[in-house]
Amino acid sequence: MTQSGTHGPLYGPFAPPQDPEVDVPAGHGEERPPAGGYNVQAQDLVAASHAWDDLSTALGSAVPLASEGWGYPGIFGMHDTFYVSGRLHLDINKVLVNACLDGRAITRLLADGLVETANDYSGTDSSQGAPFQQLTARAGE
């Protein structure tokens, strides 16, 4: 159902599908080089985040395919006099597109969360260990 030329996908008279808005702080999900030797292996968390990023990208690439005919119940032409097929297509189209958009946003947040965890806990054994060493010395051990 794509149009000829470089016009992009065919949409009906309604606005095309919109990405959900997600509030995250600036710099959220940006990798910082891991340091330290805490029990949380930062490299493993960052590697796992790439799998979620790949899934997010795949869901994002499905959106234009699933949104073909978005908001256009007359997509099947004059033969569909009562727009039965067109409305069913519109309903299925809406569910698929919204699922892909929501899934893309959620998987991106999961990937960013793994990276943020790696960033937060990287090197905490060296930065947070000193106060505990002082407590151990005062306890006489």
pLDDT tier for residue 3 given thresholds of 50, 70 and 90: very low
Q: Once rounded to an integer, what is the mean pLDDT over residues 5-15?
A: 63
Q: Report CA Rg, the chain.
A: 24
pLDDT over 90 for what percent of the chain?
A: 25
Q: How many helices (H) and strands (E) does the chain have?
A: 4, 0
Exposed (0-12), middle (13-18) or buried (19+): which is 83, by Cβ within 10 Å?
middle
Q: Once rounded to an integer, what is the mean pLDDT over residues 61-85?
A: 83
Would you state the pLDDT for residue 50? 93
pLDDT tier for residue 79 given thresholds of 50, 70 and 90: confident
Q: Once rounded to an integer, what is the mean pLDDT over residues 127-138?
A: 55
